[in-house]
């Protein structure tokens, strides 16, 4: 089959992002600060600025009972669910469907006063990862979102400031088989979720405003998204 021009970049960025997401906070270099904690969810960020703009890398780890990594990645990747869980989304357009696991999106996010409204163009790729370590262990699933250009939607041509982001959602399913040999139910599965993101806000926005937005929005986003997946899957057969 003929390769799509984006494919080499998709493959390279996915491998690079998954490698980083697998690293523990301690291995990810210094300067990570825990800025939000809620039950099993822990959110870390590193304060970084590029040309005076806040580009704080974020890394969140969460363990959610009753869902699998395949299910989490399906609900994160598939555009038909996005308006249900992405509260800051104003509009989403699928610019290109490259394959059943790779799409290009244009999204405008709700304006955060006093910053101007933002939009983003990114490719999104979902992939099952071979479980290198223990053969019989459940697979890992990932979705990587990475900013890309669009000739039909040039940056900063309209009212929105174009942002640039790289996001990696890495999911590892855990199965705790019941002692008495009864069939596996949702009580016997859980998913370890690692969410990494680096967002360049594009144009200038006050560091204090951006950091306040991230501090408020990221915990809300991950809690709302995972609760949504639990609710959507609770009466469905488990998708490993
Ligand atoms: C000035 C920066 C504004 C800003 C930039 C970027 C994003 C953003 C875009 C995409 C993704 S995602 O993980 O790829 C899921 C697909 O939508 C997450 C976050 C959100 C905000 C704004 C709306 C705020 C926000 C921040 C963090 C989480 C959710 N929303």
Residue 212, both tokens: 């306040």
Q: Ligand 1 mean position to 63 CA, how many Å?
A: 21
Q: Which of 77, 79, 83, 88 to probe ligand 1 with, by most ligand atoms within 8 A of CB?
A: 88
- Cα of 185 vs its chain's centroid, Å: 26
Residues with Cβ within 8 Å of residue 57, at least 6 apart in sequence: 45, 46, 48, 196, 197, 198
Is residue 51 very low, low, confident or very high in pLDDT (cuts 50, 70, 90)? Answer: confident
Range 134-140 contact pairs with CB under 8 angstroms and sequence separation of 24 or more = 138/68, 138/69, 138/172, 138/173, 138/174, 138/175, 138/240, 139/69, 139/70, 139/173, 139/240, 140/69, 140/170, 140/171, 140/172, 140/173
Q: Which of 94, 161, 165 to probe ligand 1 with, by most ligand atoms within 8 A of CB?
A: 165
pLDDT recorded at residue 232: 98
pLDDT, tens digit (0-9, with 9 covering 90-100), for 194-207: 999 999 999 888 89
Alpha-carbon span 151 to 168, nearest angstrom: 25
ipTM: 0.91
Q: Ligand 1 mean position to 168 CA, how many Å?
A: 13
Mean pLDDT (the chain) is 94
pLDDT, tens digit (0-9, with 9 covering 90-100), for 157-174: 999 999 999 999 999 999
Alpha-carbon span 44 to 56, nearest angstrom: 10
pLDDT recorded at residue 133: 65
What mean pLDDT do residues 80-101 have?
Answer: 97
What mean pLDDT do residues 49-59 have?
Answer: 93
pLDDT recorded at residue 130: 83
What mean pLDDT do residues 19-32 have?
Answer: 90
Q: Ligand 1 mean position to 88 CA, how many Å?
A: 7
The CA angle 7-74-218, to the nearest 5 degrees, is: 95
Alpha-carbon span 165 to 214, nearest angstrom: 14
Handedness of CA 109, 146, 127, 143 (dihedral sign): negative
pLDDT recorded at residue 29: 84
Nearest atom in ligand 1 to the alpha carbon of residue 124 is: 14
- Strands 118-129 and 161-162 come out as parallel
Comparison of pLDDT for 149 and 114, the residue scoring more: 149
**Residue 137: pLDDT above 90?**
no
Range with lowest mean pLDDT among 89-93, 130-134, 182-186:
130-134
């Amino acid at each position: 089959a003929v390769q799509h021009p984006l494919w080499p970049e998709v493959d390279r960025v996915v491998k690079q992002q998954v490698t980083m997401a697998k690293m523990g906070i301690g291995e990810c270099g210094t300067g990570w600060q825990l800025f939000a904690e809620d039950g099993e969810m822990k959110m870390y960020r590193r304060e970084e600025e590029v040309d005076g703009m806040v580009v704080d890398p974020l890394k969140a780890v969460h363990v959610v009972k009753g869902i699998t990594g395949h299910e989490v990645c399906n609900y994160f990747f598939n555009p038909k669910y996005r308006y249900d869980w992405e509260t800051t989304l104003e509009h989403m357009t699928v610019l290109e469907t490259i394959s059943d696991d790779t799409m290009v999106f244009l999204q405008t996010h709700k304006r955060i006063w006093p910053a101007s409204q933002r939009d983003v163009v990114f490719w999104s790729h979902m992939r099952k990862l071979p479980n290198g370590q223990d053969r019989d262990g459940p697979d890992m699933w990932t979705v990587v979102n990475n900013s890309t250009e669009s000739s039909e939607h040039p940056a900063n041509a309209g009212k929105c400031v174009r942002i640039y982001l790289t996001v990696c959602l890495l999911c590892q399913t855990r199965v705790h088989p019941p002692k008495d040999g009864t069939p596996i139910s949702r009580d016997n599965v859980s998913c370890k979720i690692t969410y990494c993101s680096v967002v360049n806000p594009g144009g200038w926005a006050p560091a204090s405003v951006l950091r306040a937005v991230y501090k408020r929005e990221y915990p809300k986003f991950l809690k709302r998204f995972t609760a949504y997946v639990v609710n959507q899957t609770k009466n469905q057969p488990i998708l490993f």
